[in-house]
Amino acid sequence: MKILKYVLIGFAAVLLILIAGAAYLAATFDPNAYKPQIVELVRNKTQRTLALEGDIKLSFWPSIGAEVGRMSLSEAKSDKEFAAMESARVSLKLMPLLSRDFVVDELAIRGLRANIARTRAGETNVDDLLGKEDKKQPEETPQQVKFDIAHVALDNAAITYRDETTGAQYALAGLTLKTGRIAPDVPTKIALTTAARSNKPKLDLTVDGKTQLTFNLDDQTYRLTDLALEVKGQAGDFTDLAVKAAGNVTAQLKTSEFATEKLAVNGTAMRGKEKMELKLDAPRLSMTADKASGDKVALALTLTAPDSATMLNASLPGIEGTAKSFRSPAVTLDVDRKQRDQTMKAKISSPLTGSLDARQVSLPQLKASIALTGPKLPGQSISGELAGSASVDGAKEHAQANLAGKIADSTIKARIAVTDFSPLALDFDVDVGELDVDRYAGSPEKAKSGGKGPSGKQPETPIDLTALRDLRANGSLRVGSLKASNLKASNVRVGVKANGGRVELNPLSANLYQGSLAGAVTINAAPATPAFAVKQMLTGVHVGPLLRDLADTETLEGKGNVSVNVTTQGNTVSALKKALDGSAAVKLTDGAIKGIDIAGSIRKAQSMVSSLKGQQVQQTDARERTDFSELTATFDIRDGVARNNDLSIKSPLLRVGGAGAVNIGADALDYTVKASLVATAAGQGGKERSDLRGITVPVRVTGPLASPSYQLDFGAMVTDTARQKIEDTISKKLEERLGGGAAKGKEGQKGRGGLEESLRGILGK
C-alpha cells in the first residue's frame, strides 16, 4: 500500500510539474515573434504568400490550442488571394493524443473566403496543398488515427468554385454551420444555412436545414433523422421555388442499401405563368441485401396555367424482394389535363421489377389508355390504347420504351430511347398509319376580318424555339396518311437530327396531289433570332388542289414541277416572310390561270380600239380563266421580294411573257404581262377573228395577292395595232413595186436607188 501511495504521489508531482511548465510556456512564449519565420516557411514550401494580420494566441492546458486573427493566403506563384479568414480557433485534447485518438475540442472559423478553380488542363489550385499520394505497400500503410470533434462552428463563410473547362461557376455565400459532437456512430445535431448560386445550371437558392447525423466511414453508412430541410429561390426556369423535406433517410453505400421512414416532400414553384405543386409521401421503404419491402409510395404533381390545368398522380402500392431483385405488383400513373374546353384523361399501369445493385427498373407489361373530349373533336371525343414495355438502366444512363396500339383511327408503333441522361439525348423510330392533325387540333380557321386591331391585323405571336436549344435527338418518323393544315399527303418520311439548337429534317419526302415531295428543312434555334433553310422539290404535282387546300386559293391550275431553295430568319411569321432569300422555279403543263381571260379581254378590246386609247382597270373574276399548254418561270428572292423576268405561257391561242415582283413580305403583287394572240379565238369561246392575230396587249397585275386587279393598256394596243397595219401595208406595197427585182439586183447602187424610189412612191413623195 505504501508503494502505491508513493507512486500516486510521484505521478501527481510529475503532472503538477507538467502543468506548471505548460502554464509558464504559455505565459512567456510569444508566437507573434515568429510570424516572419512562418511566412518565409510557407513561401518556401508552397510558393504562396501568407499574410498574418492578427495576433496568434496559444494554449496548452487542458487542450492544445491556437487562436489566429485575420490572415490570408495567395495563389501559388501569384499575389492573387486564394483564401482568407477573419479569425480561427482550434484546440485538441491533450491526453487522447497519447493513445493516437484525434479529439478536437473546438473548431471555429469566422469570415472564411475561399476561391477554388479548375484550369483547362484539368488541374486545380489546391493540388499543391493536398500533395501527392504516396504509393505504399499494404503492409506499410500506417494505422489510421481516430478522430473525435466536440463541435464545429463555421460562421459567414463564402466558397466559390470555377471550372474553366466548362465555364461553370458555383458559390456558397453566408455559409453557417453548427454541429454537436462529430464521431463515428455518434448521433450529432447539425444546423446549416447558406445561399447557393451557379450558372450551369442556373441556381439562386437559400438553404436552411436541420437534422441529426450518424455515420460510419468504415462501413460507408449515413443516417439522417428528424430531417427538416427548406429550400427557396430559383432553379433553372423555375422561380418562386419553395421546397420542404422531412423524415428519416438511411444509406449504406458499400452494400447499396437504402431506407426511408416518414419521408415527405412538398414543393411549389413558378415556370413562367405556370404554377407547379409537388407532394411526395413515402411512409416506409427499405432496400437491403436480403429484403426489399415498403408501404405505398404516392406522388402528386399539379401544373396550373392561365388556360390549362394538369394533375398527375403516381402510386407504388408496395414492394417486395431484395436489393438485387425487387418487384411491385402494379405501378399506376393517372393524368388529368384540361385546356380551355378540351380535357384529356390518361392512365398508365404495369408491374414493376428492378435491381438496386444494377440500378435498373423495368415495366414489362406496360398499358396506357387515353381519352380526349372537346366540342371541336370528331364526335366530341377520341380514345385509344397502347401496350408495350419500358426499362431504365441508371448505370448505363439508358432508357427505352416500345409501344404499339391504336388511337382513334391511327395505328401507332413506336420505339423511343434515351441514350444519355445528362444532357438528355433521344433516339426514336415512330410509325403512324394514319394521322389527321386537323381532327385532333380542330380544323384550321379561315382568315376573318373581325376581331382585328386598329391596323386591321391580328397581333402576332412570337415563335418560341428555345426548347430546341437543349434538344439532342436522332430518329425517323413515318406516316402512311397525313392531313395537317388541310394539306393531304401519304407515305411521309422524315429523318430528324437535333443537337445544339440545330434541327435537320432530312430526308423529308412524301407523295401528295398525284406527285411527290423531296427535300430537307434546317432550323437553327441557337441564336436569339432563329434561322430556317428550306430546299424542296415538288415533282408531277397538281397545283390546283394543292393551292386550294394549302392556301384556300384557286388562282392556278396545272401539273408539273416546283422547286424552292430559300433561307430566312425571324421571330414572327411576318419577319420570316420579309427575310426570305433564295430562288424558286415553276414548270407546269395543261393548266389555267384563274381570275382573268386574257384572250377574251383582247377580243372585247378590239371592238373598242377606235374609241379607247387608255387603260381599263378590272378586278379578277374567279369564273374567268386563261388556259395554257405550258407555263415556266424562275424567281430570284431577296429580302422577301421574288423577282421574275422570264415568264413564258404558251397555248394554241396565246403567247405570254412577263416580268415583275411578288412582295411576299407585304402580300402584294406588281407584275406586267404581255399577251399576244397567235391564232384565232375560236378555241376559248370567241368568234374567229383573223384580224386579232399578232396583237400584243400589256396587262399589269397589281394589288394584294389574295385579290389582285389587272389593267389592260388599250392605248398601247392601239399603237401596236396601227404600227402592225403600217408594216403590213409597207410590206404589201414593196412586194407590188419591187416584184422581187430588188432581191435579184447585182449592183448595190442601182438596187438602193430602186428601193428608195419605191418607198417614195408608197409614201406619196
Amino acid at the residue 222: Y
> Following CA atoms 92, 96, 97, 98 in sequence, which dihedral angle do they give, to the nearest 10 degrees?
150
Which DSSP category does 134 fall into?
P
**Residue 744, pLDDT above cutoff 50:** no
For residue 50, which of 58, 59, 41 has the smallest C-alpha distance?
A: 41
pLDDT bin (cut points 50, 70, 90) of residue 601 is: low
- DSSP for 210-274, please give it: EEEEEEETTTTEEEEEEEEEEEEEEETTEEEEEEEEEEEEEEETTTTEEEEEEEEEEEEEEETTE
Mean pLDDT value of segment 361-372: 91
- Say if residues 266 and 228 touch (Cβ distance below 8 Å): no
Q: Which residues pair with 280 in a beta bridge?
A: 265, 299
C-alpha distances (whole Å) from 460 to each of 463, 479, 571, 573, 666 are 9, 31, 10, 8, 15
pLDDT digits 0-9 by tens, 276-306: 999 999 898 887 777 778 888 899 999 998 8
pLDDT bin (cut points 50, 70, 90) of residue 41 is: confident
pLDDT bin (cut points 50, 70, 90) of residue 441 is: low
Q: Which residue would you say has higher pLDDT here, 729 or 425?
A: 425
Instruction: Return the number of other C-beta atoms located less than 10 Å from residue 367's C-beta.
Output: 15
Residue 416, all three cell numbers: 423511343
pLDDT digits 0-9 by tens, 98-140: 666 667 777 888 998 989 888 888 888 888 777 654 444 444 4
- Say if residues 671 and 700 touch (Cβ distance below 8 Å): yes
For residue 436, which of 399, 401, 480, 395 has the smallest C-alpha distance?
A: 480
Measured in residues, the chain has a length of 765
Amino acid at the residue 509: S
For residue 149, which of 109, 209, 208 has the smallest C-alpha distance?
A: 109
| 318-322, 440-444, 467-471, range with the lowest pLDDT | 440-444
pLDDT digits 0-9 by tens, 608-649: 554 444 445 445 555 677 788 899 999 999 999 999 999 998
- Say if residues 727 and 714 touch (Cβ distance below 8 Å): no
Q: Which residue would you say has higher pLDDT here, 724 or 410?
A: 410
pLDDT digits 0-9 by tens, 482-491: 888 888 899 9
**Residue 321, pLDDT above cutoff 80:** yes
* pLDDT at 3 (0 to 100): 47
Radius of gyration of the chain (CA): 44
* pLDDT at 564 (0 to 100): 94
Coil, strand or helix: which one is 497?
Answer: strand
Distance CA 417, CA 427 (A): 5
Residue 32, all three cell numbers: 507573434
Distance CA 356, CA 354 (A): 7
* pLDDT at 141 (0 to 100): 46
